[in-house]
Amino acid sequence: MKQYALGVDIGGTAVKLGLFEDSGALMEKWAIPTDTTNCGENILSDVAQSIWEHLENRALPASQILGIGIGVPGPVDAQYTVYRCVNLGWGVFNIKERMNSLLPDIPNVTAGNDANIATLGELWQGGGKGYQSAVLITLGTGIGGGVVLNSEVIAGVKGGAGEIGHMTVNLQETVPCSCGKYGCLEQYASANGIVRMGRIMLEHSMKPSALRGMEMFTAKNICDLARSGDEVAQDILDSWGAYLGRAMSYVSCTIDPDVYILGGGMSRAGTIIIEAAQRHYRKYAFHVSKETKIVSAQLGNDAGIYGGARMVLNTTGYV
């Protein structure tokens, strides 16, 4: 009898769900809107209802479902207590107990922070496939991250593992980061950060650049222009790589992972950013870790549902 796992990724506007075979093959994925009214009290009952309907449509009995793995946009401890998710309106409660009361026929429920679970997904079936340990760095508005060692998520004692975006990489910074500190990696290497840094570098440069003609430019503009030979854009991307590559070398001096996976919007720029990060990473990394792979994420928005399903398989000893 075939066995299946459900991956659930709860976001601020939509909940993504996926039904997986125990081999890791995605059978079906779908999404439902996230109802954040009344402190998000309907979110999990909507999820349970949707799961129930999909299993009924497929005539799949609950006995063939190994469990449900849920990614949550906030800290989750080892006993599955959720500690506030501001985007959802959630306070503190036990998500496993809540799901068990909603879907008593699928008792195996596991949950974790969404960035950590996405890392597990990318390691299992995405950019890190075939490796045992990975660090995911998502380059978006900010910098998110997740750490998985020997296929186990490392959340940290207070959920602080994978907060690579808040490594202090510039001791001279005078503008505060959103976290309150000064000189965090996020201020230079996120999609917003590279633009902010780019504006300052442009001001201090005498070189011509197509960036000067743009009232507003984006991380994508910088990457595109760097690729087409714009020297200032290349300088900006090089500074970006110096900050990120150095931060990655700190990660390697701590845990020496198999692979770094770059995700988030900026990772779509592909080879040019991988090379910029790698060039500087190799300069700063301790010799045994210099050849650590740096790859692009492959699962996009599906990383969370893959990771949720993989968490279920981890807990049931299937993998």
Q: Interface residues with a second copy (CB under 8 A)?
A: 75, 132-133, 135, 147, 149, 154-164, 166-168, 179-181, 246-247, 249-258, 284, 286-289, 292
Strand runs labelled E in 87-194: 90-94, 109-113, 134-139, 143-149, 152-153
Locate 213 and state its tokens. Answer: 């003609």
Phi, psi of 204 (to 5 degrees): -90, 5
Closest distance to a second copy from the beta carbon of 155 (Å): 8
Taking the least distance from each CB to a second copy, the nearer of 157 and 216 is 157
Closest distance to a second copy from the beta carbon of 212 (Å): 29
Closest distance to a second copy from the beta carbon of 57 (Å): 40
Taking the least distance from each CB to a second copy, the nearer of 63 and 254 is 254
Taking the least distance from each CB to a second copy, the nearer of 70 and 135 is 135
Closest distance to a second copy from the beta carbon of 283 (Å): 8
| DSSP code for 80 | -
Nearest one of 133, 132, 134 to 262, comparing CA atoms:
134
Count other C-beta atoms under 10 Å from residue 12's C-beta.
14
Specify the amino acid at residue 71: G
Taking the least distance from each CB to a second copy, the nearer of 129 and 227 is 129
Closest distance to a second copy from the beta carbon of 206 (Å): 24
Please, are residues 239 and 233 in contact by the beta-carbon 8 Å criterion?
A: no
Element holding 65 (H helix, E strand): strand 65-72
Taking the least distance from each CB to a second copy, the nearer of 31 and 159 is 159
Closest distance to a second copy from the beta carbon of 87 (Å): 17
Q: Which residues does 1 contact at the CB level (< 8 Å), separation at least 6?
A: 64
Taking the least distance from each CB to a second copy, the nearer of 37 and 172 is 172
What dihedral angle (degrees, nearest 10) is formed by the CA atoms of 228, 230, 234, 236? -130
Looking at beta carbons, which pairs linking 40-43 to residues 24 or more positions away fall under 8 Å? 40/85, 40/88, 40/89, 40/90, 43/10, 43/15, 43/88, 43/90
Taking the least distance from each CB to a second copy, the nearer of 44 and 169 is 169
Closest distance to a second copy from the beta carbon of 238 (Å): 14
Please state whether beta strands 143-149 and 4-10 pair in parallel, antiparallel, or not at all (unpaired). Answer: unpaired
Closest distance to a second copy from the beta carbon of 220 (Å): 27
Taking the least distance from each CB to a second copy, the nearer of 50 and 159 is 159
Nearest one of 251, 38, 283, 28 to 148, comparing CA atoms:
251
